[in-house]
Amino acid sequence: MTGLVETFEASLDDLDVTRARTTPDGLEEALRESVVEPVVGAPLPFGGLSLPDWIPTHPTPRELQEARTGVTGVGGGIAEYGTLIVQSRPGGDEPVSLYPERHVAVLRASDLVAGVPEALSVLGEEFAAGRDSAVFATGMSATADMGEAVRGVHGPREVHVVIVEDETAGESTDTLEDGGAER
């Protein structure tokens, strides 16, 4: 797993995406150092991890509109590209990850895969189980459709990833959402 984490971190560096690595016990401190207030979040999809109480996880439309940072858990990461797999969940992950100018993505190290074929294999199992919506997000939003590159047009201007080292890294049997598929 260490090789995947290092590859992922190098890919994030190439994308100018900031990052932090922490343990489950250090998550709150890592988040405090990663957010710009005001902040909103979506409930984390991982057993045993949750956002601290100071991050509202069911934001009102007004809180979402005023937020400078959105914090979500992501279902996986593709090490080769520094890509985050943001899944559609009832907790409102898409608006929280796309609307504020800064997205802080919480990713378990054990949810990293090497490349797109491995991600598609895991997602195929997710889709077969009825969890069939995911976005591959690589870096911050940008477009050059009408001239110079502009960041933040279709989503966040800044992305920060908090990689949570977990006991199962390297031997995970979790799927992207809630368990069952081998990696």
Check if the beta carbon of residue 135 is closer than 8 Å to that of residue 26: no
pLDDT of residue 125: 85
**CA–CA gap between residue 138 and residue 76 (Å, rounded):** 12
Residue 83 predicted with pLDDT over 90: yes
**CA–CA gap between residue 96 and residue 112 (Å, rounded):** 22
**CA–CA gap between residue 43 and residue 52 (Å, rounded):** 10
**CA–CA gap between residue 26 and residue 31 (Å, rounded):** 9
> pLDDT confidence of 90, banded at 50, 70, 90?
confident
Residue 176 predicted with pLDDT over 60: no
pTM: 0.85
pLDDT of residue 153: 54
CB hemisphere CA count around 48 (13 angstroms): 10
Joined tokens for residue 158: 């800044």
Least confident of 22-31, 69-78, 145-154: 145-154
Contacts of 73 (CB under 8 A, 6+ apart): 42, 43, 44, 45, 46, 49, 93, 105, 106, 107
**CA–CA gap between residue 164 and residue 116 (Å, rounded):** 21
> pLDDT confidence of 88, banded at 50, 70, 90?
confident
Q: What percent of the chain has pLDDT over 70?
A: 82
- CA-CA-CA-CA dihedral for 155, 156, 160, 162, to nearest 10: -50
Report which residue type is found at 131. Answer: R
Least confident of 67-76, 107-116, 132-141, 171-180: 171-180
Mean pLDDT taken over the chain: 85
